[in-house]
Structure 1
Amino acid sequence: MKALHYQLLKELGYTGYVLEQAPEKVLQFGEGNFLRAFADYWFDLANERVGWNGKCVLVQPIPQGTAKEINAQQGLYTLCLRGRENGRVVDRRRVISAVSRCLNPYEADDYRSMLEVAASPELEYIVSNTTEAGIVYDETCKLADQPPTAFPAKLTQVLYHRWQAGQPGLVLLSCELIDNNGRVLRDCVERYAAQWELEPAFRDWLKECTFCSTLVDRIVPGRIQDQGEQARLEQELGYTDPLLDVGEAFGVWVIEGPEWLADKLPFRSAGLNCPVVPDVTPYKHRKVRILNGGHTGFVPGAYLAGFQIVRDCMAHPVVRGFLEQMLYREIIPTLALDRSDLEQFAAAVEERFDNPFVDHALLSICLNTVSKWRARNLPSLLAYHEQTGQMPPCLTMSLAAAIQFYCGHMEALTAQGLICRRPDGRVYTVSDDQWVLEFCWAHRMDSAGELVGAILGHELMWGMDLTEVDGLAAAVTEAPLKIRSDGVLAAYASCLEKQI
């Protein structure tokens, strides 16, 4: 079977959208699965829907990458987007043609090519996703390095070369999963400009560049794990594609920027879910508290109830009812966005949890539950309590279930983690920071009240003494007793009977 390239698509009579030639308008640092299933897909749709007529030049952020494979396929690859939308199962396949080529700047010719693209009058955007560790300031990087190791240093070189060529500023879209990613990246560039003693006029020119913090949201498994399924799919497609990428159908890209950027970017006119907003913080809260908080809120208890993957939980009326009450009646009322927007997002989250193509293991979600619950769920519980003066039943039960997951049936503390046993006899390992596990193990003989008091009062766990929150300790102490006597499902069901 032949490899994917433009001529082969013509020979196969491919009827999908393909754009073979267009100006290179995007310089993208990162050629991995996520950006190819996210940003490059969006630019591809913009080409098709509104005639944006642009290509993306990809750059490997590290010496090891897929530049050779991408160039061998002329930038083409197949993207499969799978999941549920509006209650229907979707499984879309699309050849992405928005990528022109991929550069490895650790090779001399490609390093020069990267700078040539930087100086091009056609360039408009720089996109990056160099992982959370990518946006770091490394003072050992030098202007003369070809290239520097740190991404912000490479970017400073690129922008400096563009300024030297007399070209205007760019829009930079940072997709790394850190807070204020665009602002942190800008600060790194300004530090390099100062360290390298670059001209004051260049530092002034940097103000013409728009560094955008962004929030990205799409789960990208990246590969079809089943080799048989991969072979069947390639047989249907009529070509081999080692770059085939897989993502969920849902996707949103929230960009923090000025009002004019919404019109400049081709996404809104293409009908894509890409709001340009003055502050991404409310949208981050939406994602963290509804999507991530939803997972962390019901999963430890669901695992104790005998479930293994998220999708099966969504098919059970009690577990799904517990999740829905937690989302719609306890979390959403505490968030500072339009109610209808929040409810639409929550409905999409439910569909994502019910994705028939993803077997998301509950035990993997339970990794480091203490820090996750603190970041994702505690703010909702505290905000609900402040608004109503009451304890939210589902979030309170969620905390109790997490404590039961850690401390309910402890058998041993090992180098691998805390060995516990769930009610059906299955042995599992709790994975968390060692001090958390040691603390739980030290309190294994406590009564329910003593255990809850010790855990809630541990300020390092929660950033505060939760025993000082009026009514919380009593409510959480009652909940694990019900879990132990009646089981998680009955405990979850009891929350649905309560009026909020």
Structure 2
Amino acid sequence: MTCKLSLATLEDASATAAVPAYGRASLSAGIVHFGIGNFHRAHQAVYLDDLFNAGDDHDWAIVGAGVLPSDAVMRDKLAAQDFLTTVVEQDNNKTAARITSPMVDILPTGDARTIIARLADPQIRIVSMTITEGGYFIDASGKFNPGHPSIVSDGNNPSAPKTVFGLVVAGLKARRAAGIAPFTVMSCDNIPHNGKVTAAAVIGTARLSDPAFADWIAENVAFPNGMVDRITPATGQREIDFLQNEFGIEDNWPVFCEEFKQWVLEDNFPTGRPRLEKVGVQFVPDVTPYEHMKIRILNGGHAAIAYPAALMDIHFVHEAMEEPLIRAFLANLERDEIIPVIPPVPDTDLDAYFQLIERRFLNPKIGDTIPRLAQDGSNRQPKFILPSTADRLARGEDIIGLSLVSALWCRYFQGTSDSGKEIVFNDASAERLHAAAVKAKDDPDEFLALGDIFGDVAKSDLFRKRFAHALKTLWQQGTRKTLQLYLDGQLAS
């Protein structure tokens, strides 16, 4: 016997899952969040659910918003179940389900007028976003690109914006016109200095249509930096069926995630914030050390194992970690090249943190996939891998392993695994990456010529030499042999 998720069926669902201790009627919106995807619902929404369950801060409920077709699909699926989400937390030794209810509405996708009106509501004091690394219109140097067609369009039509940043600008302008204090803008994406990156995007978008207002935003709007962490795979029919079979709950789009979660925030919220420190959020003066640690060790680690695993026809992340060559490659890369260039983190042992990451990657219950880790590399490589490469080069240190990561990515984009299996790409730049990777088989510099990705790193003679040798070895001897050569200290010879 199963129950279809809704407010009316919460009592039935409580037989197998934890349900909210608060009523929906007790909530009022304080946050508009762009990007109601799996990560948001496994992370920010869960922290708020914990806080609301404790009886605190019920005036900080979430209103969802979005600009993409996928956001419209999500809105339809969640609206059909009263904006509830089943979150299934999976550790090696247990699996538990909970139903969260901090979201009270999702605004119509593409309806700029309605979204701007809600942003102008004085009760909304935080606008947050989870729009992926590629959603910030930044180039290889990490700078906002005001020439992107979508941003140019918003600059030409500021009253009818289509991007998140155009909508934020319009909402801030409406608040200023009404004499309402500006909301805080909070990024929840895996980007170094995500607050500064978001500020650059919002201010840069505003500057195209109203330079004076852009200056006002820079002087009056808070953009706290934050570090977020929780492994959250994509939802497919496998997860939907598991929830129904194991817990008796029909959820249109459940979220599966690991038990571990972390959120570190700079405490810069002039118009107030929920008391998230009560439920485990760390508030710190400077989030930078935590960002470096997480983005380079965890996200960089994901990028490092994704492409050798794909070339070896491995589908799940835990299976990649069970392959001795890949696990050893990751450990050597982290300890020899990545961790040594990470600044100290308060009260944190970086090697112990990496051991925690290894255990998380090995979790077989998560069902995280190599295709998910491999997607969007054109945005992830410049943020997760190449900064470590650049730091080592600046210190005059070798980059054998990091160059191999870049070469594996290039080999992946040729389009077939070592066995000849076709690789399905998921990257906005897939066409040009594939074209460059095919040419790079004969001339490795063709791939490094992607200046918006490699930037100044490609100007290094050492990097170009290491990359070319690693790519040649991958083509001549295959992924397994190349990884073994690296582990034996023979790849640079």
Q: TM-score range by the shorter chain?
A: 0.7 to 0.9
Which of these residues, 319, 339, 356, is aligned with residue 332 of structure 1?
Answer: 339
TM-score by length of 1: 0.72
Partner of 1:437: 437
Residue pairs, 1:390-405, within 5 angstroms: 391=398, 394-395=401-402, 405=411
> Conserved in 1, the CA contact under 8 Å of 2:229 and 2:261?
yes
> Conserved in 2, the CA contact under 8 Å of 1:457 and 1:466?
no
Residues 1:483 and 1:289: Cα distance change in structure 2 (over 3 Å): farther
Larger radius of gyration: 1
Partner of 2:144: none
Partner of 1:59: 65
> Conserved in 1, the CA contact under 8 Å of 2:305 and 2:320?
no
Partner of 2:84: 76
Residues 1:106 and 1:474: Cα distance change in structure 2 (over 3 Å): closer
> Conserved in 1, the CA contact under 8 Å of 2:61 and 2:102?
yes
Q: CA deviation at 1:215?
A: 4.3
Partner of 1:8: 9
Which of these residues, 245, 252, 262, is aligned with residue 252 of structure 1?
Answer: 262
Residue pairs, 1:38-437, within 5 angstroms: 38-49=43-54, 51-53=56-58, 54-61=60-67, 64-82=72-90, 84=91, 88-104=92-108, 111=114, 115=117, 118-120=120-122, 122-130=123-131, 132-133=134-135, 136=151, 138-143=154-159, 145=160, 148-175=161-188, 180-188=196-204, 190-191=206-207, 194=210, 207-226=219-238, 230-231=240-241, 233-234=243-244, 237-256=247-266, 258=268, 264-272=273-281, 274-278=282-286, 280=288, 282-301=289-308, 307-338=314-345, 340-359=348-367, 362=370, 376-381=384-389, 383-384=391-392, 391=398, 394-395=401-402, 405=411, 418=414, 422=418, 425-428=419-422, 433-437=433-437
**CA distance in structure 2 between the aligned counterparts of 1:366 and 1:254, rounded to whole angstroms:** 26
Could you give the per-residue CA deviations for residues 112-151 of structure 1, whole angstroms, max 9, x where no partner exists? Answer: 8x6367333x4321212345447735123243x4xx4333
> Conserved in 2, the CA contact under 8 Å of 1:299 and 1:362?
yes
**CA distance in structure 2 between the aligned counterparts of 1:218 and 1:116, rounded to whole angstroms:** 29
Q: CA deviation at 1:459?
A: 9.0
**CA distance in structure 2 between the aligned counterparts of 1:160 and 1:265, rounded to whole angstroms:** 24
Residues 1:244 and 1:192: Cα distance change in structure 2 (over 3 Å): same
**CA distance in structure 2 between the aligned counterparts of 1:368 and 1:22, rounded to whole angstroms:** 37
Could you give the per-residue CA deviations for residues 361-388 of structure 1, whole angstroms, max 9, x where no partner exists? Answer: 557756787996676445435644665x
| Paired residue type of 2:48 | F
Count of residues in Structure 1 that have an aligned counterpart in Structure 2: 456
Residues 1:193 and 1:310: Cα distance change in structure 2 (over 3 Å): same
Residues 1:69 and 1:313: Cα distance change in structure 2 (over 3 Å): closer
Residues 1:7 and 1:352: Cα distance change in structure 2 (over 3 Å): same
Partner of 1:36: 41
**CA distance in structure 1 between the aligned counterparts of 2:217 and 2:417, rounded to whole angstroms:** 61
Structure 1 window deviating more from structure 2 (39-48 vs 212-221): it is 212-221
Q: CA deviation at 1:95?
A: 0.8
| Paired residue type of 1:139 | G
Partner of 1:448: none
| 1:172 aligned counterpart, secondary structure | strand
| 1:58 aligned counterpart, secondary structure | strand
**CA distance in structure 1 between the aligned counterparts of 2:181 and 2:349, rounded to whole angstroms:** 37
**CA distance in structure 2 between the aligned counterparts of 1:468 and 1:439, rounded to whole angstroms:** 21
Q: CA deviation at 1:96?
A: 0.8
Could you give the per-residue CA deviations for residues 186-229 of structure 1, whole angstroms, max 9, x where no partner exists? Answer: 3046437727x87xxx9758744312344444443342422xx6
**CA distance in structure 2 between the aligned counterparts of 1:212 and 1:334, rounded to whole angstroms:** 25
> Conserved in 2, the CA contact under 8 Å of 1:262 and 1:268?
no
**CA distance in structure 1 between the aligned counterparts of 2:184 and 2:250, rounded to whole angstroms:** 36
> Conserved in 2, the CA contact under 8 Å of 1:289 and 1:377?
yes
| 1:149 aligned counterpart, secondary structure | coil
Residues 1:328 and 1:50: Cα distance change in structure 2 (over 3 Å): farther
> Conserved in 1, the CA contact under 8 Å of 2:240 and 2:252?
no
> Conserved in 1, the CA contact under 8 Å of 2:67 and 2:110?
no
| Paired residue type of 1:292 | N
**CA distance in structure 1 between the aligned counterparts of 2:205 and 2:471, rounded to whole angstroms:** 51
TM-score by length of 2: 0.73
| Paired residue type of 2:127 | I
**CA distance in structure 2 between the aligned counterparts of 1:206 and 1:366, rounded to whole angstroms:** 36
Could you give the per-residue CA deviations for residues 232-285 of structure 1, whole angstroms, max 9, x where no partner exists? Answer: 523554543214223343433444554x7799542223213x4444354x4444
| 1:211 aligned counterpart, secondary structure | coil
Q: Which runs of 5+ in 1 are unaligned?
A: 407-416, 444-450
Residues 1:470 and 1:192: Cα distance change in structure 2 (over 3 Å): closer
**CA distance in structure 1 between the aligned counterparts of 2:177 and 2:390, rounded to whole angstroms:** 52
Partner of 1:412: none
**CA distance in structure 1 between the aligned counterparts of 2:405 and 2:393, rounded to whole angstroms:** 15
**CA distance in structure 2 between the aligned counterparts of 1:221 and 1:204, rounded to whole angstroms:** 39
Residues 1:68 and 1:285: Cα distance change in structure 2 (over 3 Å): same
| 2:22 aligned counterpart, secondary structure | coil
Residues 1:224 and 1:89: Cα distance change in structure 2 (over 3 Å): farther
> Conserved in 2, the CA contact under 8 Å of 1:483 and 1:491?
no
Q: CA deviation at 1:183?
A: 1.0
Residues 1:261 and 1:158: Cα distance change in structure 2 (over 3 Å): closer
**CA distance in structure 1 between the aligned counterparts of 2:416 and 2:242, rounded to whole angstroms:** 41
Pairing 1:22–2:27 present: yes
Identical counterparts, % of pairs? 20
| Paired residue type of 2:21 | V
> Conserved in 2, the CA contact under 8 Å of 1:80 and 1:247?
yes
Higher relative contact order (CA 8 A, sep 6+): 2
